[in-house]
Chain A
């Protein structure tokens, strides 16, 4: 079962790099915000997979919750910045 989680985690890491392209070269700010949010979600899942690999899910679930929370607040803050720019 561990091999399955390792493969899924590596696949998600690859997907993070694909989305990172959109963050760097993406046309417009909205693409960048959406891409950063997607990277945050993927890193959350990667953290949970780490938890399954090390058999300490109850520890990693706290970290992933905080990560999701800060991702949400960051997304709102970026949207607020765009609203004030206008």
Chain B
């Protein structure tokens, strides 16, 4: 299991860096249609920021800030957003993930509804990917046995 680092330089740099990494990840997610990036890439950067927090501040601190249950909940929420938007389009009479049908709900013209729909899909993908990266790293670093399981 990963314990906290003793080195003050690494801990301080990581603590200062993590919010900026997450801000950049949000930029990559939101700006996905104009520049390289999108939901998956932004989610991986978000996950990388949490991995940095875990390897510098140790498992105990990480579990206090980002509990394992919250990570799994967030991943399921991402899947729910994705499939929810897709099924809403299906229920409104279009194909699965046919965002132009959302214009009925959002009260905008179909082109705007497409832009908003793809943004929602990318947010869902980003949540799911972040949770998956974080959960995989949790499991690898603890050998699959969490301390609360042993009790």
Interface residues of chain A, those whose CB is within 8 Å of chain B, are: 58-59, 62-63, 65-66, 69-70, 73, 76-77, 80, 83-84
Interface residues of chain B, those whose CB is within 8 Å of chain A, are: 2, 5, 10, 14, 21, 24, 28, 35-37, 41, 45, 48, 51-52, 55-56
Contact A62 B37 (CB under 8 A): yes
Neighbour of A59 across the interface among B10, B14, B36, B48, CB < 8 A: B36
Q: Complex formed: what's the CA distance from A73 to B55 in Å?
A: 9
Neighbour of A66 across the interface among B10, B14, B41, B55, CB < 8 A: B41
- 8 interchain residue pairs of minimum CB distance: A80-B55, A73-B52, A59-B35, A77-B55, A62-B35, A73-B48, A63-B36, A59-B36
Given the known inter-chain contacts A69-B21, A70-B48, A73-B51, please indicate yes or no for A62 contacting B56, CB distance below 8 A: no
* Closest CB in chain B relative to A79 CB, distance in Å: 8
Contact A62 B28 (CB under 8 A): yes
* Closest CB in chain B relative to A28 CB, distance in Å: 21
* 24 A-B contacts (beta carbon < 8 Å): A59-B35, A59-B36, A62-B28, A62-B35, A65-B24, A66-B24, A66-B28, A66-B41, A66-B45, A69-B21, A69-B24, A70-B48, A73-B48, A73-B51, A73-B52, A73-B55, A76-B10, A76-B14, A76-B52, A76-B56, A77-B51, A80-B5, A80-B55, A80-B56
Query: For chain B, what secondary structure do more than half of its interface residues adopt (helix, strand, loop), or is it mixed?
Result: helix
Contacts of A73 in B (CB 8 A): 48, 51-52, 55
Contacts of B36 in A (CB 8 A): 59, 62-63
Given the known inter-chain contacts A62-B37, A76-B55, please indicate yes or no for A83 contacting B45, CB distance below 8 A: no
Contacts of A65 in B (CB 8 A): 24
Query: Of all chain B residues, which has the CB nearest A65?
Result: B24
Q: Complex formed: what's the CA distance from A76 to B37 in Å?
A: 24
Contact B2 A69 (CB under 8 A): no
Contacts of B24 in A (CB 8 A): 65-66, 69
Query: Of all chain B residues, which has the CB nearest A84?
Result: B2
Neighbour of A69 across the interface among B5, B14, B48, B56, CB < 8 A: B48
Contacts of B45 in A (CB 8 A): 66, 69
